[in-house]
Structures are given as C-alpha cells and as structure tokens.
C-alpha cells in the first residue's frame, strides 16, 4: 500500500513552512502539515507578551526569497512577524496542507514509510520532516510551593492579556524574553520585582521606524532592501564569528562586545551596586546576548526592584528569598524553554530496527549530519537538531536546510530511489568535525561559560546547539555536501513526478 502522503511536516512555523515550500518546488503536492496550535506562525503565533519584537533586523529575519518591504521598524514587533507568516502561507499556498490543533505523539519507520500518530488519528507518509522549533516546550521552574500561589501565574509563552494597572507583579527570569517584557510590565504595575539568577549581556538596539518613503523604495527597488539585508546579516555574522565561533582567534572582538555592553549599562545605571548586580560574570556569547534600549534603565525606576537572592519558596501570596518576602498579585514566569530534556525530539521518533531517537541521542551524544539527518532514521529530516542552528537569524538555518533538502532529493531521484539514509561514517565525521571546532576555537570551551546557565549547552555540559562555523560555510556545505554521504535504496513505490 502506498503511504497516504508524500511527506508529513510537523510544525507550521517558519521552519515547517520553509520545508514545505522546498518540497513543493521539488514537485511534492501531497503534503500534510500537522500543527499542535490553532494557527500557523510557530513562535510568532504562540508568543504574545507585551513588548514582543524581533531582535534581529527584520530585513534579515525573513526568507531571502520573500522580502517584505512593509516592516514598520528596523526590528519589527511580534504581530508583524505573525502577519508575515500568514502572507507566506497565502503566497505559497500552504494553508490547504495544514491541520491545526493536532498533537503528534509519535512517529515510527515502517520499512518504507513513516507512520505518524496524533492525538486522534494515524497518518502515513514516505517522508517525515520535524520542524517543532527549538523553543517550543515552555519550562516551569521547580520552585517549592509554586502551585500554592493564589494569584495569577502566567508563563510568557502562554500570555493572556491582563490589566496589570495597580498590581504588584513579580517576574522570574532575565533572558531575552524578560528583557523585552520587563520595561512593559514596569509601565503599568504598581510594584515590579525581578528575580534574577543570572544577569545577561545587553547591547543597545539600533531600532528606528522605517519611514513610508523608504518602505516604498524597498517595494519598488527590492535590491535596495537586499543591500540592507546583506548589511544586517554581515553585522550578525561578524558578531557570531568573532564573539562565538572564532573566539580563539578573535578574542579581542569578544572583549570589545563586552566593553560595548558595559558602557551601555554604565550610561543607563548610575548606582554602582545595581550595576554590579546587572553585570554578567561570564564571557559574551556563552549565552544568547540581548538588545534593548530600556531594559537596564527600568531598574532605576523607584517601583522596580531587582532581587538576586535565591528563591526559597513561593506561598499563597508571595515569593520568599533569603532577603525576605514580597507579596504579589501576579507571578510572571519568563523562565524559558526546555530544550534538552523534552525537545530533542519533541515526541517519540522510532527509526530503523526500533532505534528511539531521544534515547539514542542521550546515550550516544546529540548529533545530526549537517544538523538535518540521523543514521538509522531513513527518510527523516529533523530540522531542529543538534548543530543545526547557524548564525543568529533562524532564517539562515532554515534556508541552509532548504538547500540541503533540494540537493538530497535531487540526488535521490537521479538514482531512481525513494529512500535515503545518512551513512554512519559521514555522520561520525561531521560530528567529529563539529566537536573539534567547538573544543578548539569557540567561546563555549575557551571562554568563561561555567556560570552562564546557557541553553546552548546540553545536560552533559556540551555546546551542541549551534553549528560552530560561519553561515557562509553552512550555506556552502548545504549546497555542496557529497551526496555519497547518503545511501539510497531502490524504488519501492512510485516516486512523485
């Protein structure tokens, strides 16, 4: 029996949509895109907290083949990203493949196809693509008594509009999300207590409205916007290369980035004690740096209090630390996402010979060839894999993976095959290369990262999230990897035209 679908894509965010666009370009028209949320857009559909905005320049944080001349600002607010996702789905006719509110619980390789089980049905497909995101499993902190709090508790990834006017609000966490949210909370709350475990490097954000005349120019002369994209991408690339990937060779650039952030802090916060509390003690780049013009300054407002003592417990009415207790009405959890325990992979994936991907990764190191394919998992593209994230803009990763898919499927078809699998040898060689690069050059092994508490590191202390190469090298690898690295099996059923 032929499988029901050519391919099942799990996730209707930018990653899943990019894969679907590429599969359609390859001629696959019988697609199924399964999405657990009630609409498309991934992160930009789920996250709705006040202050949500992209912190990568919008001309860069978008598909290169689908520029959007209508961004209102250099760093667009969240709802514009959601609208952009809707536009892409419309233009590339993807909605008709999507099923929302469908939670995938498992996928199993059945000799020549995948069987995908959801909370209500079972589907089959020749190919399986998971694009479930890196940051899609919200983390609730394991703090004693948190369930006993009688006020409102809200995680940033499940934001519900609420009037906080006059409320006493506490927020746990000072990551990239909190950096955007805290200045907004301070505008309405009568008192805001920020519980910080690890301070974060904050750089100024050169954010400006894009005047209508410039937007018209972008629409009429797309090459102008392409030039702006190139500039934004180059700056980000420079930051990644100097601050993270080639720390060994360009340590001085990393120091300059730290100096730049310290100067920003110095300008916004005059109180030396407050400044000390807000200054990270780990190297720039160990953890994702953030960009904000008002985060640091917010702590100087009289009703905003920074508490750096460890949270001992939460009770019915407040938060208790070694410094005392604070009564609150609302508790905001800006505590991020669980990548390494629940998200790699986001559901059970069982490959050839009963190999369970989650168990295999945990027992044999997190790994994926070019951050896309895994030995023992034929016809499977895992887009949110170890070593897949390239550069600072997620779109770099997506577009590299689209190139990889194109080259892989073209090679497979030219051999009259319909089944691919990465060879163990090619995978091992790639893993070895990535590990060597991390160990020999990157800030993750040569910088001071021990106190960063960065989700770039897995539970074994290895930095296995980011690809330790330039994005140029990642793009080159995606379009030139030796196709012999894959084994291709003969056609078992008709391949699509």
Q: Write out the residues near ligand NAP by the rule CB under 6 A.
A: 53-56, 135, 141, 143, 172-178, 180, 195, 197-198, 288, 311, 334-336, 453, 455
The 3 state secondary structure assigned to 438-465 is HHHHCHHHHCCCCCCCCCCECCCCCECC
The nearest distance, CB 194 to ligand NAP, in angstroms, is 10
Q: How far apart are CA 165 and CA 189, in angstroms?
A: 5
Closer CB to ligand NAP, 4 or 198, in the complex: 198
Closer CB to ligand NAP, 145 or 496, in the complex: 145
| Beta strands 152-155 and 330-333, pairing class | parallel
Closer CB to ligand NAP, 9 or 172, in the complex: 172
The nearest distance, CB 371 to ligand NAP, in angstroms, is 16
CB 331 within 8 Å of CB 151: yes
The nearest distance, CB 290 to ligand NAP, in angstroms, is 8
* DSSP three-state, residue 490: strand
Identify which of 377, 362, 361 has the alpha carbon closest to the alpha carbon of residue 422: 377
Nearest residue to ligand NAP by CB is 175
Closer CB to ligand NAP, 288 or 485, in the complex: 288
The nearest distance, CB 52 to ligand NAP, in angstroms, is 7
Cα angle: 33, vertex 77, 165; to 5 degrees: 115
Closer CB to ligand NAP, 177 or 298, in the complex: 177
Strand-by-strand arrangement of the 311-314 sheet: 311-314, 318-321, 324-327
Residue 476, judged by CB atoms within 10 A of its CB (0-12, 13-18, 19+), counts as middle
CB 34 within 8 Å of CB 116: yes
Distances (CA, A) of 284 to 19, 81, 291, 295, 327: 33, 28, 13, 18, 35
Closer CB to ligand NAP, 221 or 450, in the complex: 450
The nearest distance, CB 75 to ligand NAP, in angstroms, is 8
Cα angle: 164, vertex 165, 169; to 5 degrees: 45
Closer CB to ligand NAP, 98 or 194, in the complex: 194
The nearest distance, CB 496 to ligand NAP, in angstroms, is 36
The nearest distance, CB 198 to ligand NAP, in angstroms, is 3
The nearest distance, CB 23 to ligand NAP, in angstroms, is 26
Closer CB to ligand NAP, 335 or 373, in the complex: 335
CB 178 within 8 Å of CB 171: yes
The nearest distance, CB 175 to ligand NAP, in angstroms, is 2
Q: How far apart are CA 244 and CA 284, in angstroms?
A: 8
Phi, psi of 296 (to 5 degrees): -65, -40
Closer CB to ligand NAP, 176 or 202, in the complex: 176
């Amino acid at each position: 029996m032929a499988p029901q679908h050519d391919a099942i894509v799990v996730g209707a965010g930018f990653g899943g949509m990019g894969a679907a666009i590429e599969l359609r370009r390859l001629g696959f028209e019988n697609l199924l895109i399964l999405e657990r949320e009630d609409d498309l857009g991934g992160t930009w559909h789920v996250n709705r907290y006040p202050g949500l905005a992209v912190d990568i320049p919008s001309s860069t944080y978008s598909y290169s083949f689908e520029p959007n001349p209508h961004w209102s600002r250099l760093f667009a607010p969240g709802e514009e990203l959601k609208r952009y996702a809707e536009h892409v789905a419309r233009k590339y006719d993807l909605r008709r493949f999507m099923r929302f509110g469908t939670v995938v619980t498992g996928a199993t390789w059945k000799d020549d196809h995948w069987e995908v089980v959801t909370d209500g049905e079972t589907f089959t497909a020749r190919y399986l693509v998971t694009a479930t995101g890196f940051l899609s499993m919200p983390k609730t902190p394991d703090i004693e008594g948190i369930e006993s709090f009688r006020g409102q508790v809200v995680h940033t990834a499940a934001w519900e509009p609420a009037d906080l006017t006059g409320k006493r609000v506490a927020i746990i966490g000072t990551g990239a999300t909190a950096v955007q949210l805290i200045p907004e909370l301070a505008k309405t709350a009568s008192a805001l207590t920020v519980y910080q475990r690890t301070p974060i490097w904050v750089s100024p954000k050169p954010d400006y409205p894009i005047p209508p005349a410039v937007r018209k120019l972008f629409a009429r002369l797309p090459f102008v916007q392409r030039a702006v994209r190139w500039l934004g991408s180059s700056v980000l690339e420079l930051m990644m290369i100097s601050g993270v990937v080639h720390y060994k060779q360009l340590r001085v650039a990393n120091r300059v980035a730290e100096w730049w952030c310290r100067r920003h802090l110095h300008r916004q916060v005059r109180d030396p004690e407050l400044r000390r509390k807000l200054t990270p003690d780990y190297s720039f780049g160990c953890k994702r740096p953030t960009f904000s013009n008002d985060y640091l300054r917010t702590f100087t407002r009289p009703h905003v209090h920074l508490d750096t003592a460890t949270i001992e417990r939460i009770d019915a009415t407040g938060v208790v630390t070694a410094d005392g207790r604070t009564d609150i009405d609302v508790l905001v959890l800006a505590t991020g996402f669980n990548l390494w325990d629940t998200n790699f992979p986001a559901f059970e994936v069982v490959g050839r010979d009963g190999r369970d991907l989650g168990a295999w990764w945990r027992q044999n190191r997190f790994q994926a060839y070019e951050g896309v394919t895994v030995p023992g998992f034929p016809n499977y593209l895992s887009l949110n894999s170890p070593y897949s994230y390239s550069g600072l803009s997620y779109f770099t990763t997506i577009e590299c993976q689209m190139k990889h898919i194109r080259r892989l499927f073209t090679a497979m078809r030219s051999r009259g095959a319909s089944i691919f699998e990465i060879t163990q040898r090619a995978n091992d060689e790639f893993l070895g290369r990535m590990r060597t690069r991390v160990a020999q050059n990157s800030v993750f092994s040569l910088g001071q990262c021990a106190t960063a508490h960065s989700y770039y590191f897995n539970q074994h202390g290895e930095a296995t999230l980011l690809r330790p190469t330039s994005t140029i090298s990642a793009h080159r690898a995606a379009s030139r990897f030796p196709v012999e690295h894959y084994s291709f099996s003969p056609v078992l059923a008709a391949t699509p035209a």
